[in-house]
Chain A
Amino acid sequence: METRCRGYDSALSLRELLSGIPPDKLSSVLALLLGGPARIISADGAWVMGNVLPLAGKVEKWPLVYDLEVTGYLEAVADGAKGQAAASMLELILLSGARYYMASELHLEVVKTDYEELQRRHAALQESEARYRSLAESLEERVNEQVSTIESAHRCLYQAEKLASVGQLAAGVAHEINNPIGFIRSNLGTALSYLQKIQSMSQQIKSSGNVELLNIWQSADLDFVLEDFVSLLQESMEGADRVARIVADLKDFSNVDRAAEEVVDLNECIRSACNVAANQVSSHADLKLELGVLPLLRCRAGHLSQVFLNLLLNAAQAMKERGEICIRSSVADGQIVIRFIDTGCGIPDEIIHRIFDPFFTTRDVGEGTGLGLTVSRDIVVSHGGHIEVDSKAGAGTTFSVYLPVNQ
């Protein structure tokens, strides 16, 4: 193959041109045609076919022309016409051999080029396939990225909506309650001062000696009435004060418009969350606050209040029977740690790794969205902190919020 592949247009020797012909048969045909032995030699006299030894007698020689050149000779002891005819026949055989040789060489060349071209295309295809595969892979990655972006946008929206609706409610309540509670408190104060005037009158009535008036006084038990009246009014005033404080807390808590950062004592946020949730919590559990002294923190207080409220309400809802919720705040190693420790039902091991997943909830349809903890974690993470959970089924759960103290 190596030696043969010289190109279809290369020069061919006599031996090559005759290579497709069985030498014995051609020799015997020539011997018959010429009436005696014959031999074919190359242009430079080398033996190619027929009698190996030079012929004896009157040897004639006819040139064999191929491709404009004498490529060899036919030798025989024969007359001129026969020899010429045999030489012409040999030339036709040479031509036919050349055609075959050229065709096959060209065919080989073409096949080789086609094969190389195919390989080149194959390589190009493989390359493009690899490119598309990597595109497809990154496509999946990009879709996942988009999905997580959408999920987080969804959570932000949920949180914003929730905070907005709480804020709206708080603003409405503040507006509607503040005024009446104001005048109720003021009126109660006035009423108390009026009562003191009436009490001072009782001394005069008693010392006046008017028996009839004293009898009426005593039968109506006005001494007790006056005394009780004072404490009634004082209790009412305390009640009004409490209402006013709750409204103020609600306002504080829901101050969602202040998404901008402010410097706060997180204990205040905890207290206001407790006040807001007091009603829901008190029916399920006793609330114990163990608040340590915390450094002031620059944070989005409204958002963190939301976290505390979520954790507190979760703790309350975890109570199968009346239990205890303890909120403990402290600072250590540059971190504020706030723990919500409940004695509720605990979280089973098989779902504990999913509780922060969006839309994961153990509550009945309609009772919880499954976003509370997700949003809480997002908020804490956005403050550079994290939430840890430790739970024992049946014994209770502790959520720990870690927040780095700002430098």
Chain B
Amino acid sequence: MADFDEAARKLTIKLVYYGPAMSGKTTNLMRLHDLLSPDLKGEIMTLETQNDRTLFFDVLPLGFRTSSGMLVKLKLYTVPGQVAHDATRKAVLSRADGVVFVADSQRTQGVNNSESFQNLEDNAYRVGLDFETLPLVVQFNKRDLPNILSEEEIRERWSAAPWPLMMASALAGRGVRETFMRLLEVTYPVLDRNFLLHKDHDMDARAFIAAVAGG
């Protein structure tokens, strides 16, 4: 649930990149830092890493001011993917407004993907998020690697799932921005319902997404 500070006229939105270890969550964040240019953009803060593996989380702050004068802050977090860090993952996921699930497209990673997705569902339940209505986008990353599932295979396997499927190659910067835009699209209606972005702040979905993307 986003945090709205009425006195300071400040809305803080939390978006989380979830997924199995080494699927490219942090890479997504690094690319977004380069690709987006909102009014306000901070540096990626990396809390703790070990051999390039995230131990706590990374966070990228983005922000802009609406014409009504409200400061909208988006904080993009990554979770540590390794199985052992489940408690950290749970803590990072709590109070999330939207989630990108970053899956690894390699054929060998099927089990890890599904276990991690199950873990997302379990943890969402534990931190009190309604998984049925949680804004979620599924990204299949590493499309540039050989021996990956074809897009047709992926779409067939996920045909029964209600979430948008995005293909990406975070290392090359492809699909990263699109995935994020898609997440904003599915997250906006919930935010609008709760904070009347359109009515009180003259900010419809298009304007909201444009403000975050910048440029």
A residues adjacent to B (C-beta < 8 A): 7-11, 67-69, 95, 98-99, 102-103, 106, 109-110, 113-114, 117
Chain B: interface residue count, which band? 20 to 34
Give the residue of A7, A9, A67, A106 whose beta carbon is less than 8 angstroms from that of B88. Answer: A106
Residues 149-187 of B at the A interface (beta carbon under 8 Å): none
User: When chains A and B are docked, how far (Å) is the Cα of A7 from the Cα of B127?
Assistant: 13
User: When chains A and B are docked, how far (Å) is the Cα of A117 from the Cα of B14?
Assistant: 26
Question: Can you list the 9 inter-chain pairs with the closest CB atoms, starting with the nearest?
Answer: A68-B40, A110-B87, A113-B87, A68-B63, A109-B91, A114-B87, A110-B88, A103-B47, A68-B61
Q: Identify 9 residue pairs between A and B in the complex whose beta-carbon atoms are under 8 Å apart, listed by A's number.
A: A9-B95, A68-B63, A69-B10, A98-B45, A102-B47, A106-B47, A106-B56, A109-B91, A113-B91
User: Which of chain B's residues have a CB closer than 8 A to the CB of A102?
Assistant: 45, 47, 56, 59
| Inter-subunit contact B47/A9 (CB<8 Å) | no
| Inter-subunit contact B47/A95 (CB<8 Å) | no
| Inter-subunit contact B42/A67 (CB<8 Å) | yes
User: When chains A and B are docked, how far (Å) is the Cα of A110 from the Cα of B87?
Assistant: 5
| Inter-subunit contact A106/B91 (CB<8 Å) | yes
Given pairs A9-B59, A67-B61, 20 additional interface contacts (CB within 8 A): A7-B95, A9-B77, A11-B5, A67-B42, A67-B73, A68-B63, A95-B43, A95-B45, A99-B47, A102-B45, A102-B47, A103-B47, A106-B47, A106-B88, A109-B87, A109-B91, A113-B90, A113-B91, A114-B87, A117-B87
| Inter-subunit contact B56/A9 (CB<8 Å) | no
| Inter-subunit contact B71/A69 (CB<8 Å) | yes
Q: Check: B48 CB closer than 8 A to any chain A CB.
A: yes
Return B2 CB to nearest CB of chain A, in Å: 11
User: Which of chain B's residues have a CB closer than 8 A to the CB of A117?
Assistant: 87
| Inter-subunit contact B71/A9 (CB<8 Å) | no
Q: Check: B75 CB closer than 8 A to any chain A CB.
A: yes
User: When chains A and B are docked, how far (Å) is the Cα of A7 from the Cα of B95?
Assistant: 10
Q: Check: B12 CB closer than 8 A to any chain A CB.
A: yes
Q: Check: B57 CB closer than 8 A to any chain A CB.
A: yes
User: Which of chain A's residues have a CB closer than 8 A to the CB of B59?
Assistant: 9, 102
How many residue pairs link A and B with beta carbons under 8 A? The number is: 53
Return A129 CB to nearest CB of chain B, in Å: 25
User: When chains A and B are docked, how far (Å) is the Cα of A109 from the Cα of B94?
Assistant: 11
Centre residue among A7, A9, A95 by max chain B CB count within 10 A? A9
User: Which of chain A's residues have a CB closer than 8 A to the CB of B61?
Assistant: 67-68
User: When chains A and B are docked, how far (Å) is the Cα of A179 from the Cα of B71?
Assistant: 125
Shortest Cβ distance from A100 into B: residue:
B47
User: Which of chain B's residues have a CB closer than 8 A to the CB of A10?
Assistant: 3
User: When chains A and B are docked, how far (Å) is the Cα of A19 from the Cα of B77?
Assistant: 25
User: When chains A and B are docked, how far (Å) is the Cα of A114 from the Cα of B91?
Assistant: 11
Return B197 CB to nearest CB of chain A, in Å: 18
User: Which of chain A's residues have a CB closer than 8 A to the CB of B14?
Assistant: 9
User: Which of chain B's residues have a CB closer than 8 A to the CB of A113?
Assistant: 87, 90-91
| Inter-subunit contact B71/A8 (CB<8 Å) | no
Shortest Cβ distance from A10 into B: residue:
B3
Return B214 CB to nearest CB of chain A, in Å: 13
Return B140 CB to nearest CB of chain A, in Å: 28
User: Which of chain B's residues have a CB closer than 8 A to the CB of A98?
Assistant: 45
Given the known A-B contacts A8-B91, A9-B95, A11-B12, are A106 and B73 also in contact in the complex, defined by CB atoms under 8 Å? no
User: Which of chain A's residues have a CB closer than 8 A to the CB of B45?
Assistant: 95, 98-99, 102
Centre residue among B73, B88, B95 by max chain A CB count within 10 A? B88
Residues 35-91 of B at the A interface (beta carbon under 8 Å): 40-43, 45, 47-48, 56-57, 59, 61-63, 71, 73, 75, 77, 87-88, 90-91
Return A217 CB to nearest CB of chain B, in Å: 128
| Inter-subunit contact B56/A103 (CB<8 Å) | yes
Return A42 CB to nearest CB of chain B, in Å: 13
Shortest Cβ distance from B46 into A: residue:
A99
Return B105 CB to nearest CB of chain A, in Å: 30
| Inter-subunit contact B87/A68 (CB<8 Å) | no
Shortest Cβ distance from A69 into B: residue:
B71
Return A89 CB to nearest CB of chain B, in Å: 15
Shortest Cβ distance from A43 into B: residue:
B8
Return A343 CB to nearest CB of chain B, in Å: 85
Return B163 CB to nearest CB of chain A, in Å: 24
Return A107 CB to nearest CB of chain B, in Å: 8
Given the known A-B contacts A67-B42, A106-B57, are A9 and B87 also in contact in the complex, defined by CB atoms under 8 Å? no
